[in-house]
Amino acid sequence: MNLSPELRAALDAAEQAAGIARSLFQHNIEVRIKADKSPVTEADVRCEIAIREILEARFPSYGFFGEETGSRDETAESLWLVDPIDGTKAFVREYPMFSTQIALMRRGEIVLGVSSAPVYGELSFAERGCGAYLNGKPVSVSQVATLESAALSSGNLKTLATGGQWARYGALVAQVNRIRGYGDFLHYHLLASGRIDAVIETDVNILDIAACAAIVSEAGGRFTDLGGAPITLQSTSVLATNGHLHAAVLAALNPGFCPAM
């Protein structure tokens, strides 16, 4: 495929971050705890600095919103969304379930995403209108159309567990064919490539999910919050499916849900 300058920049930035992450992985680096009680390491900061340098050099007029180095002009028409190490806890515990997430939001809509898991060995990317790719090959979601046949992956369920949807989630789990908890980047890569059929998450932020939203959508799926609303900078939950199952899962989780005609 012909890559746009924006997607090429995002891929180059992800590649630069991958080299840094690999060089520091399993090297017992210092861990600090941020004000929100989440961990941060040298890898997080160095990866984001490298990503930011590339993106801002090539697109100086674009805004930037990063997990570690802060934001610049979040109201810009085009805004980069960057989580340099999504899965820092995995990085610290020395298992490979972490990734770099880079997305571009334009006028409030996510138009491209790169999800790079350098130690696990997967690179996925997508751009609006150009399809989704995993390790260089085009991918698409499954055609599974019933909950009874579906494989569902769930993650970060703390908020769901303490809210009114927990019992309905339990009933949904009992209805689907398989339930797993792949987590982080992995269940979105699996969904986009047709190997599972739906993902539920809470306690997320836009930097965790923006790139994967682009990838799942371009693979033919749907990506909303758990109420069925579009993903925004303020989103904290996810329902991502192959599209065929979206209304059924929304109805299972939300009393009185009525799909749009």
Residue whose pair of structure tokens reads 């340099």 in the numeric block: 84
Tell me what pLDDT residue 31 has: 86
Pick the CATH number of 5-130 from 1.10.10.350, 3.30.540.10, 2.130.10.10, 3.40.50.720: 3.30.540.10
Tell me what pLDDT residue 183 has: 86
End-to-end CA distance of the chain: 36
pLDDT in tens, 138-158: 999 999 999 999 999 999 999
Tell me what pLDDT residue 259 has: 63
| Domain covering 147-253, topology | D-Maltodextrin-Binding Protein; domain 2 (3.40.190)
**How many angstroms separate the CA atoms of 159 and 106, rounded?**
29
- Positions of the chain with pLDDT lower than 70, given as ranges: 256-261
> 81 phi and psi, to 5 degrees?
-120, 120
Domain boundaries along the sequence of the chain:
5-130, 147-253
pTM: 0.95
Tell me what pLDDT residue 261 has: 42
Tell me what pLDDT residue 84 has: 97
Nearest to 69 by CA among 88, 46, 100: 46
* DSSP H or E stretch at residue 213: helix 206-218
Tell me what pLDDT residue 71 has: 87
Tell me what pLDDT residue 260 has: 56
What residues contact 195, with CB distance under 8 A and at least 6 apart? 142, 151
